[in-house]
Amino acid sequence: MMTRTFLIWCVLTVTAAAADPGALFGEAENLSRSKRKAEAMAKVEEAVAEIDRALAAGEDVSWHGMNGLRFAANLAREDFLDFEKALSFSDKQFEIADTDYWRTPARLERALTYRAMGKFDKAQREYDAIAQGDERHRTSGIMPQAQMVYFDMGETARGRQLLTAAMMNEDINGNERFGTLRKCAQAAVAEGCRDDAVGWYALTEKMPFGKETDRARFLTQAWYEMGQLEESRGNTSQAKGLYRRAMQLEDGDMRYRTRARDALEGIGYFE
């Protein structure tokens, strides 16, 4: 009887000890959001140890476990500047992956880490590999590669060409495209090049979107931001025209339609 009880206790103990890597990564993300970075990394290390245990036991790694490795690479790179550790997490994800569904994010994280290290040739090889992989994932590296050339490598002319082509690629997520466009505009403003910033936002008018509602949402913000830029350099007439377009755009982002209305009222108050 004691032997049977002991065996049951052993089974329960081993089962309890086998923590879910996905749950541990979830805890790590919560700790990271709470600015408890050191604790988050400790939890990541615990999750990775559980992944190693699972692999040694011939078990599969869950979706959350695989996705957690990408978070781990980002945490190590961005918050600890530990590039070797970031690469080790990406390499582990790549080694476990059996399709491009997980190989692509592993390559993207490796490329980001190589960019942070200034090893642009290695980053480029990762982007090239993505482009030659599964057709469904080929667009994943287009925008990051263009950003690398434009922002990291400082090749402005070639980078602008790559970025513009990426902006016009409807297969790339609209939020990603507009987010990059906004980043380009903000960088231009920081350098005192407001004409360039207006030009970046104006590109939104030509960008293709699968849904008209998506196009309207991004256009509202673009016209509002262009109005802000024109107003900041005293071009009140142009600013008012842009604000009106943003305010009157049906299906547009209500936040920016409201801001455009307020901006118009502000100009009218001082005229």
pLDDT digits (tens, 9 = 90+) for 90-107: 999 999 999 999 999 999
Return the DSSP state at 191: T
Banded model confidence at residue 18, pLDDT cuts 50, 70, 90: low
- Give the CATH architecture of domain 180-271: Alpha Horseshoe (1.25)
C-alpha atoms less than 13 angstroms from C-alpha of 47 in its C-beta half-sphere? 31
- Compute the mean pLDDT over every residue in the chain, rounded to the nearest whole number: 92
Q: Which amino acid is at 128?
A: D
Residues 6+ apart with CB under 8 A from 138: 130, 131, 132
Banded model confidence at residue 134, pLDDT cuts 50, 70, 90: confident
Tokens found for residue 257: 């339609």
Tokens found for residue 213: 């509602």
Tell me whether residue 35 is exposed, middle or buried, using C-beta atoms within 10 angstroms of its C-beta: 0 to 12, 13 to 18, 19 or more.
exposed
Q: At 236, is the secondary structure helix, strand, or coil?
A: helix
Domain boundaries, the chain: 17-96, 180-271
